[in-house]
Amino acid sequence: MVTCHCSVSVDGYSAGPNQSPDNPLGERGEELHTWFHGEGPPSEADAKVAERILAGYGAYVMGRKMFGGGPGDWDLSWRGWWGDTPPYRNPVFVLTHNERPPLEMAGGTTFHFVTGGVEDALSQARAAAGEKNVSVAGGASTVQQFIAAGLLDELHLHIAPVVLGSGERLLENLGNPAFEQIEVIESPKATHVFYRVGR
Amino acid sequence: MVTCHCSVSVDGYSAGPNQSPDNPLGERGEELHTWFHGEGPPSEADAKVAERILAGYGAYVMGRKMFGGGPGDWDLSWRGWWGDTPPYRNPVFVLTHNERPPLEMAGGTTFHFVTGGVEDALSQARAAAGEKNVSVAGGASTVQQFIAAGLLDELHLHIAPVVLGSGERLLENLGNPAFEQIEVIESPKATHVFYRVGR
């Protein structure tokens, strides 16, 4: 199964304005993720949702900007902005137009650079994941391409009670997909809505 | 208290594209309201939410377009597009730039036309509502003006599992309001999220 989980504001932004290498989530973007790693222990509901996110994926697909956009990202000394030990701990397939050899990080994450578009990336991710699920990690443009191509099975939205007003909008350029609401989980800090995405 | 309840698509539209007097909700806009008046009996959750909407309001505020936009709406023979017996059954204050005498309809609804903007409309609606709540009925632009002016106490979103792709977006031009999530109700046909709106 191919799934995507994404935190969004009430007004539909998955990142705030003025994203940069120093501030990849954009202004106030971190407020979207308070349910996941805010101060204090998570609520039972948030912990349950986070557990689903952290378990079960065998491979990830992400966009070039999410790997680490900005000037110099194809300088081979640039290792993205996820630090030495990225949280993925699995193969990550990065959509790009530039060939680059795989980049092995600490902790089990290896970034593979794919130039054949979303279908190519998904095919490689599926092979790497084996029996496990593939997660589309983002950003917005990558999620949109997966939905528009009919390649995403489930979208898990974490709607934070935050209005950003501008930034990167998650749900646009989707074509005409059919959404089916599977499950809703209320937590004190977000509304978690799970959708099945039809073609 | 001043509240607004609004059905929206997952991608944030409160009406589909190409709204017209013959199709005030726009293309596919009626799919947003399936939870409220779709086929078959409503679920227990939807019935509970609908009951809150139908009870307790003493007055409404709406925009000129929602009263019945399009050519000829200021012809005094034009009585809006809500039919002879509008569902409001209370005073409705219509934001407009054109003076017009009140329009009394069957069933208890009287449309009052207000030229002094949202604060004037709210002041008149509060006086008419007495102890009861005022509902901001829409459309999107009117809701936005209320939130931006800090006049809305609660926003109740009914998120339908529908992607419209274009149309009238509800949550934009809001200024910088603080949203607090009060309650979430899952129904088979929508996710109902209740927010307190701060200034």
Query: SS3 of A45, please?
Result: helix
Using 50, 70 and 90 to split pLDDT, how confident is the model at B53?
Answer: confident
- pLDDT > 90? residue B33: yes
Through-space distance between the first and last CA atoms of chain A, rounded to whole angstroms: 14
Which of A152, A168, A181, A187 best probes binding to B when mutated, by most B CB atoms within 10 angstroms? A181
Provide the pLDDT for residue B157.
98
Using 50, 70 and 90 to split pLDDT, how confident is the model at B74?
Answer: low
- pLDDT > 70? residue B40: yes
Higher-confidence residue of A24 and B57: namely B57
- CB A191 to CB B195 under 8 A? no
Q: Given CB atoms, is B83 within the 8 Å cutoff of chain A?
A: no
Provide the pLDDT for residue A73.
55
Q: Given CB atoms, is B77 within the 8 Å cutoff of chain A?
A: no
Higher-confidence residue of B32 and A72: namely B32
B163 with A177: CB under 8 angstroms? Answer: yes
Q: Which residues in chain B touch residue A188, judged by CB atoms under 8 angstroms apart?
A: 181
Q: What are phi and psi of B48, to 5 degrees?
A: -65, -45
Percent of chain B with pLDDT strictly greater than 90: 79
Q: Mean pLDDT over residues B118-127, rounded? A: 98
pLDDT per 10-residue tile (average), chain A, 199 residues:
97 94 90 90 92 88 86 72 92 93 96 96 98 96 97 98 97 97 96 95
* pLDDT, chain B, mean: 93
Q: Which amino acid is at B84?
A: D
Tally A–B CB contacts below 8 A.
70
Q: Given CB atoms, is A77 within the 8 Å cutoff of chain B?
A: no
Provide the pLDDT for residue B164.
98
Percent of chain B with pLDDT strictly greater than 70: 97
A73 with A67: CB under 8 angstroms? Answer: yes
Provide the pLDDT for residue A39.
82
In this structure, of B56-65, B73-82, B155-164, the range with the lowest mean pLDDT score is B73-82
A71 with A81: CB under 8 angstroms? Answer: no
**Residues B86, B75: Cα–Cα separation, whole Å:** 19
Q: Given CB atoms, is A116 within the 8 Å cutoff of chain B?
A: no
Q: Which residues in chain A touch residue B161, judged by CB atoms under 8 angstroms apart?
A: 179-181, 195
Provide the pLDDT for residue A78.
83
Q: Mean pLDDT over residues B36-51, rounded? A: 89
Q: Please count the CA atoms within 13 angstroms of the CA of A110 that sit on its side-chain side.
A: 12
**Residues B117, A174: Cα–Cα separation, whole Å:** 37
Domains with residue ranges and CATH for chain B: 2-15+29-70+80-198 (3.40.430.10)
Of B167, B67, B159, whose CA–CA distance to B121 is shortest? B67
pTM: 0.94
**Residues B198, A160: Cα–Cα separation, whole Å:** 15
Residue-wise pLDDT tens digits, B132-190: 999 999 999 999 999 999 999 999 999 999 999 999 999 999 999 999 999 999 999 99
Q: Given CB atoms, is A198 within the 8 Å cutoff of chain B?
A: no
**Residues B94, B121: Cα–Cα separation, whole Å:** 8
Closest residue in A to B162 (Cα) is A179
- CB B10 to CB A163 under 8 A? no
Q: Which residues in chain B touch residue A165, judged by CB atoms under 8 angstroms apart?
A: 172, 174-176
Provide the pLDDT for residue A118.
97
Q: Tell me the nearest-neighbour CA distance from B153 into chain A, angstroms.
A: 15
Higher-confidence residue of B24 and A177: namely A177
Closest residue in A to B193 (Cα) is A191
DSSP state letter for A160: E
